[in-house]
């Protein structure tokens, strides 16, 4: 395991985590979670998506005003409305996500790769004109070609992005494949890589550890692994595995992370919402 | 791509029922459901079975049984009492130094009782050359049916497991199996690594009950990622839920493969994606495991979701209308702290 930097964790409990169907955090809950993550030594907090509306924007402002040491940033699509909403909230660091696989570009957006690059260029330009720092997200990277990811990384670094997120958007990777691709990419990528796992086959933690071992500078996690479908890599579980290897960097507190995860698991309980879902034979 | 062959599945779910002292009929019911999933064998602790000694006759109509016994006590008579002809001797780390000698002392008796013997070896780090050669010789001499690699602490990593399983395979004539502990959420990954290295049997349990690899994750990952050729049993998710219900346990809503929420989409982008082509945001079709897709209306919804819902009700929403409605949906969702029901959605539309 290479030595991990203290800010290697990028927590997205409040954004990707909250996307778990039926889950809503109140503004106060979001604030409490953000403060707790900060105190646990998490370096980056993806707080939400301001363009979603006034309630979300309000919650964002509360967090930005809370004196948090971690870098609190917003999630954005590559369009002017999203960027403007983030800037209006007061965000100084923006994550801008674009799809990188043929499947997502052609079938979801029904556009061309060139169109996606133009959108990204304009969005980054707008954000930077407000003095904001940027990270770029490569959505569905695990189903894109390595060259497609690197092409996006080349553009991103030219535009001034600080890192690039490799998203295993539908959770189809496994540790050996991760080792191969992350090793390959980190040797060629002009930006540090953030690995973003999903847990569709119960492999999110293992994949995240494999990514860190193979050259990933950052990883995305959520408290208790909450998130879309079967969730994301769990903050407390990833740290527990790193603790076995004595690889938890100074300042990151495993006990605090476990506590946050228990609390988030409790307030994100959706058993009653899905109890009547036992349909089908 | 990783290629794998279909392993023998050794279930440990039934063992949990034995520990909880389920009656013979309850055991038989669970056994039937396990068989429905295509699991042919279960392993149960004979020391646990000894407390109540429930009849296993009905269970054995659907499943082959192996009895777990500690190598130290090795109470082989229990196998006969339980009507079981296969035993798995559990060897702890502490016993590893004297392992070969101990095996040599108990295996003759097992042979005499016509028992088929496998081993379950608790591991810590690499096997010594002494152990490997002693084990290889003993396995040959006594026709040991299989040697299972047991990561009891769950601290193994896939690359180390792959290496150790490969070593065992190269030294032993008999099949090599994997029993991965799940305390750190790594059991599925470690089990897949073992399969990649040629493991011929997998010890797992439904939902990972008891702290081992979740069978449904290993099975589906092997099939979808590992290209294992296997037919998915009918209503996999439903049967797993029923098995959990037998233990009075709920399945976590976001449990991989079988959770009731894993195909529920709320985020606007995700709903839009799956409506165009499900594979955009789904690793496999929900119907494959007996689940169905749900579109949830809530804080993260987009106008596309609303247009889809209303179109199904015969109402075509204008852009202005859908934007206004969306604002109302988001407000209500945040106030309620949950998703919006169809009725609430209709009321919002009518009041707007």
Domain membership of residue B23 (yes or no) is: yes
Domain membership of residue B251 (yes or no) is: no
Number of A/B CB contacts below 8 angstroms equals 194
- Residue pair B309/B249 in contact by the 8 Å Cβ criterion: no
- Residue pair B143/B119 in contact by the 8 Å Cβ criterion: no
CATH of the domain at B16: 3.20.20.70
Domain membership of residue B254 (yes or no) is: no
Q: What is the pLDDT of residues A125-175, one digit of tens each?
A: 999 999 999 999 999 999 999 999 999 999 999 999 999 999 999 999 999
Do both B231 and B326 map to the same domain?
Answer: no
Q: Do A228 and B281 touch (CB under 8 A)?
A: yes
Within 268-287 of B, beta carbons closer than 8 Å to A belong to 269-270, 272-273, 276-277, 279-283
Phi, psi of A137 (to 5 degrees): -110, 130
pTM across the whole model: 0.97
Do both B216 and B151 map to the same domain?
Answer: yes
Do both B109 and B15 map to the same domain?
Answer: yes
Count of structural domains, chain B: 2
Instruction: Give every CB contact of residue A199 below 8 A, 6+ residues apart in sequence.
Output: A171, A225, A227, A229, A230, A231, A232, A233, B254, B256
State whether residue B142 sits within 8 Å of chain A by CB: no
Is this complex's ipTM strictly greater than 0.95? yes
CA distances to B161, B268, B285, B292, B301 from B308, in Å: 48, 11, 20, 17, 11
Cβ neighbours of A179 in B, within 8 Å: 159
Do both B160 and B297 map to the same domain?
Answer: no
Q: Which of B221, B266, B273 lies nearest to residue A22, judging by beta carbons?
A: B266
Mean pLDDT of B7-19: 98
Please say if the pLDDT value at position A232 is more than 70.
yes
- Residue pair B261/B254 in contact by the 8 Å Cβ criterion: yes
Do both B237 and B274 map to the same domain?
Answer: no
Do both B17 and B114 map to the same domain?
Answer: yes
Query: What would the DSSP string read from start to end of B188-221?
Result: HHHHHHHHHTT--EEEEBGGGTTTB-BHHHHHHH
Domain membership of residue B255 (yes or no) is: no
Q: In which domain, by residue range, is B284 found?
A: 264-350
Do both B83 and B192 map to the same domain?
Answer: yes
Phi, psi of A24 (to 5 degrees): -135, 130
Q: Which of A104, A172, A241 lies nearest to residue B283, judging by beta carbons?
A: A172
pLDDT band at B76 (very low <50, low <70, confident <90, very high): very high
Q: What is the pLDDT of residues A64-93, one digit of tens each?
A: 999 999 999 999 999 999 999 999 999 999
Domain membership of residue B3 (yes or no) is: no
Q: Which of A53, A231, A244 lies nearest to residue B330, judging by beta carbons?
A: A53
Q: What is the pLDDT of residues B96-144, one digit of tens each?
A: 889 999 999 999 999 999 999 999 999 988 889 999 999 999 999 999 9
pLDDT band at B326 (very low <50, low <70, confident <90, very high): very high
Do both B91 and B204 map to the same domain?
Answer: yes
Domain membership of residue B96 (yes or no) is: yes
């Amino acid at each position: 395991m290479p030595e991990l930097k203290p800010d290697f964790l990028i927590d997205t409990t409040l954004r990707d985590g909250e996307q778990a169907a039926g889950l809503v955090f109140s503004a106060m809950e979001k604030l409490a979670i953000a403060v707790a993550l900060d105190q646990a030594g998490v370096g980056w907090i993806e707080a939400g998506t301001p363009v979603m509306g006034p309630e979300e924007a309000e919650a964002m402002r509360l967090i930005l005003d809370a004196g948090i040491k971690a870098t609190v940033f917003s999630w954005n699509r590559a369009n002017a409305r999203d960027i403007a909403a983030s800037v209006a909230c007061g965000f100084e660091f923006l994550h801008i996500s674009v799809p990188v696989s043929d499947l997502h570009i052609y079938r979801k957006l029904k556009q061309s790769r060139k169109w996606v690059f133009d959108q990204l260029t304009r969005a980054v330009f707008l954000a930077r004109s407000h003095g904001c720092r940027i990270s770029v997200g490569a959505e569905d990277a695990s189903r894109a070609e390595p060259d497609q990811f690197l092409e996006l990384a080349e553009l991103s670094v030219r535009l001034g992005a600080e890192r690039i997120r490799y998203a295993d958007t539908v959770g189809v990777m496994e540790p050996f494949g991760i080792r191969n691709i992350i090793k390959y990419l980190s040797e060629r990528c002009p930006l540090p890589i953030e690995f973003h796992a999903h847990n569709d086959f119960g492999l999110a933690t293992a994949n995240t550890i494999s990514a860190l071992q193979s050259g990933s500078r950052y990883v995305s996690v959520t408290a208790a692994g909450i998130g879309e479908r079967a969730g994301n890599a769990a903050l407390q579980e990833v740290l527990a595995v790193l603790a076995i290897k004595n690889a938890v960097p100074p300042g990151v507190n495993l006990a605090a992370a476990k506590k946050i995860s228990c609390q988030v698991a409790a307030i994100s309980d959706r058993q009653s919402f899905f109890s009547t879902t036992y349909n089908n034979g | 791509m990783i290629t794998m062959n279909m392993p023998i599945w050794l279930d440990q779910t039934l063992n949990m029922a034995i520990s909880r002292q389920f009656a013979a009929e309850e055991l038989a019911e669970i056994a039937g459901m396990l068989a429905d999933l295509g699991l042919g064998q279960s392993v149960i602790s004979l020391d646990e079975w000894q407390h109540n000694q429930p009849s296993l006759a009905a269970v054995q109509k659907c499943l082959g049984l192996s009895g777990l016994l500690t190598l130290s006590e090795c109470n082989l008579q229990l196998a006969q009492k339980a009507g079981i002809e296969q035993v798995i001797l559990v060897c702890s780390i502490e016993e590893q130094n004297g392992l070969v000698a101990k095996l040599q002392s108990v295996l003759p008796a097992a042979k005499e009782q016509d028992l088929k013997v496998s081993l379950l070896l608790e591991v810590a780090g690499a096997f010594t050359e002494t152990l490997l050669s002693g084990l290889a010789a003993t396995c040959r001499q006594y026709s040991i049916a299989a040697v299972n690699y047991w990561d009891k602490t769950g601290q193994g990593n896939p690359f180390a497991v792959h290496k150790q399983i490969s070593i065992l395979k190269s030294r032993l004539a008999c099949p090599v199996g994997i029993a991965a502990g799940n305390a750190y959420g790594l059991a599925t990954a470690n089990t897949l690594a073992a399969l990649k290295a040629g493991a011929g049997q997998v010890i797992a349990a439904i939902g990972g009950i008891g702290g081992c690899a979740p069978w449904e994750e290993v099975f589906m990952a092997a099939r979808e990622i590992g290209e294992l050729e296997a037919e998915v049993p009918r209503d996999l998710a439903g049967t797993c839920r029923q098995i959990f219900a037998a233990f009075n346990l709920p399945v976590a809503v976001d449990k991989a493969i079988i959770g009731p929420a894993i195909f529920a989409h709320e985020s606007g982008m995700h709903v839009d994606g799956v409506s165009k082509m499900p594979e955009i945001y789904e690793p496999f079709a929900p119907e494959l495991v007996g689940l169905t897709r749900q579109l949830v209306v809530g804080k993260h919804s987009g106008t596309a979701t609303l247009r889809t819902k209303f179109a199904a009700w015969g109402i075509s929403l204008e852009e202005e209308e859908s934007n206004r409605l969306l604002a109302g949906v988001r407000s209500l969702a945040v106030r309620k702290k949950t998703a919006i029901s169809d009725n609430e959605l209709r009321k919002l539309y009518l009041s707007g």
